[in-house]
A and B are shown apart, each in its own frame.
Chain A
């Protein structure tokens, strides 16, 4: 158990719908990251937040958005869902070192299936 929690574990929805994935970081961690893992694209970085502020952005679609709240939990919102959005979505957290070499601990993931 990494100490990072994610809900829900599984999500099945239809094309065009909107879903919200939730992540709680390890106690004391200020940075939260979101990754998408699909069979054809591997593990892809989406976005990073540090202490409530966006710090880095990857190839995140415009239909996707995220935020980190004052209690440091984070939510990833996926809208206008397409079949290709079906994937495992992982959240990771780290302490947030200034030299960017801090270890990232992954949560158990949310498996999203879009039908």
Chain B
């Protein structure tokens, strides 16, 4: 089955700096890669996703890149703000039924 690894597990940045979180996956059949943000005790919220037919997608301060050959994808947050502090999860689908396999999460802390 699919295996998703996520790094780093914690990330601390100064407000205004950029943050990068990286994930690798194992199943070459995966074709959908969402990123979720989760605040303590709350539901995971989709922040951006990418499908395998594109290499990069951007939405304001957030961008995701995908390298299908190397089987890795990354989340980039620019001009970080204290409200970006949360746990971020990457995921990859299993093409058989769209079940998502999640990475272990990255706790991002943005210091004012």
Q: Which residues of A line the B interface, CB within 8 A?
A: 2, 31, 33, 35, 42-45, 48, 50, 55-56, 58, 90, 94, 97, 99-109, 111
Partner of B94, one of A31, A56, A94: A56
Q: Is the interface of A mostly helix, strand, loop or mixed?
A: strand
A48→B44 contact, CB < 8 A? no
Closest Cβ of chain A to B15, distance in Å, is 28
Closest Cβ of chain A to B6, distance in Å, is 10
| Docked CA distance A48–B97 (Å) | 8
| Docked CA distance A55–B94 (Å) | 12
Residues of B close to A43: CB separation below 8 A? 44, 89, 91, 102, 105
Chain B stretch 35-64: residues in CB contact (< 8 A) with chain A:
36, 41-46, 49, 51
Instruction: Give the number of chain B interface residues (Cβ < 8 Å).
Output: 27
B20 located at the interface, meaning its Cβ lies under 8 Å from any Cβ of chain A in the complex: no
Residues of B close to A99: CB separation below 8 A? 31
Closest B-chain residue to A43, C-beta based?
B102
Residues of B close to A35: CB separation below 8 A? 100
Please name 23 pairs of A and B residues whose Cβ atoms are closer than 8 Å in the assembled complex, sorted by A.
A31-B98, A33-B98, A35-B100, A42-B102, A42-B105, A43-B89, A43-B102, A45-B100, A48-B98, A56-B97, A56-B99, A58-B99, A100-B31, A100-B95, A100-B96, A100-B98, A101-B32, A101-B93, A104-B34, A104-B46, A104-B98, A104-B100, A109-B43
